[in-house]
Amino acid sequence: MSGTIIDGKKNAIDLRRRIKSATNNLKSKYGITPGLAVVLVGNDPASEIYVRNKGIQTKEAGMESLEFRLAEDASEDNLLKKVEELNNDNSVNGILVQFPVPKHMSQQKIIETILPLKDVDGLHPVNAGYLASGLKGMVPCTPQGAALLIKETLGELSGLHAVVVGRSNLVGKPIAQLLLKENCTVTICHSRTKDLKETCLSADILVAAVGIPELIKEDWVKPGATVIDVGINRLDAPEKGPGKTKLVGDVDYNGAIKIASSITPVPGGVGPMTIACLLLNTLIATCAQNNIEFSELGF
């Protein structure tokens, strides 16, 4: 048996197409163009690439893309002042500060300074509380994208056992909440979990978001399970040449694909859905800020 590969790139393209159509409807009906502001501190190469891709896809979706760059040694106060300026700018509907930020800045303080209605990363404690309470709010982009892939793959999720390996605020906790909302029975595992392998083997849906390269082995996967690998780990790849690296997930992909019914690859699985869901959140935030029913946009 060999599992079906869940194509995150194709799903992200389809989602961005729907977002563009809804954005055009927002413009034609209400004369409003969503604006997404991204703030980058320093010049981390990976962040530079990510921000550039965000800008390209934001414009392709028909939205305004605003970028603000601060030096590596900028003070935390200067960054927080910039965030406050964007909070008060009505042309800005979504605010994203690219993480990681330099060590002299508090990531949590930055998150809490962004208005919850403009928090398109879905990390503000208010939005986390809404999600935990089953209320509408901004949902973190990566778990939102993972949940959409699971729904697209399996359809009805009610009654399925989902095991989430990882308990971060960014992925583990929110994906657990999203799957609970779909009436799954959810188990969250972490570094202190006993019998981790046995717990994973009980999963109909196995989500790996722990940041340990290829932790989940072939014999940890229940036959016929759906495996969602959120991990992105860069390893040395001497077989490719001196100094070369490769990306791997938290799952031993080559082994797990023999057992699972479907699985996301790394790269090309959950990753492409993250920016698409950022654009979706920006569109949702724009509607909420202007008292427009999202359903009116034909999404």
124-149 per-position pLDDT tens digit: 999 999 999 999 999 999 999 999 99
- What pLDDT sits at residue 108? 97
Length of the chain: 299
User: 48-52, 222-226, 239-243, 259-263: which range is least confident on average?
Assistant: 239-243
CA dist., res. 160 & res. 3, Å (int): 19
- What pLDDT sits at residue 1? 58
For the segment 82-101, the average pLDDT, to the nearest whole number, is 97
- What pLDDT sits at residue 122? 97
Question: Torsion-angle region of residue 216: left (phi > 0), alpha (psi -120 to 50) or beta?
Answer: beta
For the segment 63-83, the average pLDDT, to the nearest whole number, is 97
Q: What is the pTM of this model?
A: 0.95
Q: How confident is the model at residue 267 (pLDDT cuts 50, 70, 90)?
A: very high
65 has which bridge partners? 36
- What pLDDT sits at residue 15? 98
Q: What angle do CA 279, 280, 282 make, to 5 degrees?
A: 65
In this structure, the number of other CB atoms found within 10 A of the CB of residue 13 comes to 12
- What pLDDT sits at residue 239? 85
How much of the chain exceeds pLDDT 90, in percent?
A: 91
Mean pLDDT (the chain, rounded): 96
- Write out the H or E segment, with its range, that includes residue 235: strand 233-236
Q: How confident is the model at residue 254 (pLDDT cuts 50, 70, 90)?
A: very high
Active site residues: 54, 98, 121
User: For residue 16, what is the DSSP state?
Assistant: H
Task: With CA atoms as reference, report the closest residue to 44 among 122, 87, 106, 97.
Answer: 97
| Tens of pLDDT, residues 7-42 | 999 999 999 999 999 999 999 999 999 999 999 999
CA dist., res. 174 & res. 193, Å (int): 19
CA dist., res. 11 & res. 61, Å (int): 15
Q: What backbone torsions phi and psi does residue 203 show, to the nearest 5 degrees?
A: -85, 130
For the segment 203-226, the average pLDDT, to the nearest whole number, is 97
Residues 6+ apart with CB under 8 A from 120: 36, 94, 95, 96, 138, 141, 278, 281, 282, 285
Task: With CA atoms as reference, report the closest residue to 279 among 23, 39, 9.
Answer: 23
Note the helical H segments in 196-247.
196-201
Inter-residue contact 112 to 104 (CB < 8 Å)? no
Instruction: Report how many helices (DSSP H) and strands (DSSP E) the chain contains, helices first.
Output: 10, 11
